[in-house]
Structure 1
Amino acid sequence: MEQLANVKAYLCAVFGAVVGGIVNLMGGWSEDLTTLLLFMGVDFILGLLIAALWKKSNKSDTGALSSYSAWRGLCRKGVSLLVILIAYRLDVTLGVEYIRSAVIFAFIANEGISILENLGIMGVKYPTALKKALDILTSKAENSESVK
């Protein structure tokens, strides 16, 4: 049993080091990154629910759950995180501090719109203030990209 605890501690340390290194490459942990990861998780879970329970997913031919579609969705979210890494490196290279934030805002807006679409498919009503907040975020991301 002690050996199992050692293996678990080792795996946790390795996982923590890898994730910490990746987050460091992306410019460190921030509230906007937390929001993005939360939105990504919620969107993925809602997508799974729509496919599994409502069978109305537009990601598969039958509308039902598909491991291939789920994998593609996860890969897409992973590539989004790579784009954030690239944006941060551009910030560093150009000596600016807005590209990473603008990219994260754009991805948060995109995930938020997807969440609202999923809620609509599920028949869940949401306040218009939520939609307006996403519109403001989208506008903020677009202004950051065009002004700078």
Structure 2
Amino acid sequence: MEHLEAARLYLFGEVKFLHLLLLLMALDIVTGLFKAWKNKNLWSRKSLFGYARKVLVLVVIILANVVDQVLDLNGMVAYATVLFYLANEGLSIIENLADVGVLVPTGLAEKLKNIENSSKTLPEEVREEFTSEKGDDEK
């Protein structure tokens, strides 16, 4: 029994919002299936890679938790990692919903279209968004 407790501690410990992340992952899969069904691409290699990426996200969270445990960081690395993936899953869900025709907030839909049509990567888009002058939008 002690081995199970040690394994649980090192695998996920007390990672905050892990249940919410798992829920969002499931919702992303469901909305992704609707998107694939709409685009008549239900059984694609892309979806299999998407499922594999979700498993690898959990591996990254386990690694972040192990780093927290070894360095005694009180869950900060795992918490930040989960928050990053929560945001990523949320954006993916909204993108899937917009693609199947569900109304999403206009500003958010426009940002998603700009990211989709841009040659820049998402980190570049975020960096640009946070470093742009507030007056640039008014010109």
- With the length of structure 2 as denominator, give the TM-score of the two structures: 0.64
3-state DSSP of counterpart to 2:12: coil
For the 8 Å contact 2:28–2:89, the answer to whether it is kept is yes
Residue identity opposite 1:38 in structure 2: L
Question: CA 1:67 to 1:29, structure 2 compared with 1: closer, same or farther past 3 Å?
Answer: farther
Residue identity opposite 2:34 in structure 1: L
Name which structure has the greater RCO, CA cutoff 8 Å, separation 6+: 2
Aligned-residue offset at 1:69: 2.2
Aligned length: 105
Percent of pairs with identical residues: 35
Cα separation, 2, equivalents of 1:68 and 1:122: 20
Cα separation, 2, equivalents of 1:117 and 1:40: 14
For the 8 Å contact 1:43–1:114, the answer to whether it is kept is yes
Cα separation, 2, equivalents of 1:122 and 1:35: 24
- CA deviations on 1:72-98 (whole Å, 9 max, x unpaired) are 111100000000000001111111020
Residue identity opposite 1:114 in structure 2: S
For the 8 Å contact 1:84–1:103, the answer to whether it is kept is yes
For the 8 Å contact 2:21–2:85, the answer to whether it is kept is yes
- CA deviations on 1:77-128 (whole Å, 9 max, x unpaired) are 0000000000001111111020000000000000000001111111112357
5+ unaligned residues in a row in structure 1: which ranges? 1-17, 56-62, 132-148
Cα separation, 2, equivalents of 1:29 and 1:94: 15
Residue identity opposite 1:103 in structure 2: T
Cα separation, 1, equivalents of 2:71 and 2:13: 18
Are residue 49 (structure 1) and residue 26 (structure 2) matched? no
For the 8 Å contact 2:67–2:77, the answer to whether it is kept is yes
Which position in structure 1 is the counterpart of 2:103?
A: 125
Aligned-residue offset at 1:49: 1.1
Cα separation, 2, equivalents of 1:39 and 1:87: 19
5+ unaligned residues in a row in structure 2: which ranges? 110-139
Q: CA RMSD in A?
A: 2.8
Which position in structure 2 is the counterpart of 1:35?
A: 20
Which position in structure 2 is the counterpart of 1:93?
A: 70
- With the length of structure 1 as denominator, give the TM-score of the two structures: 0.61
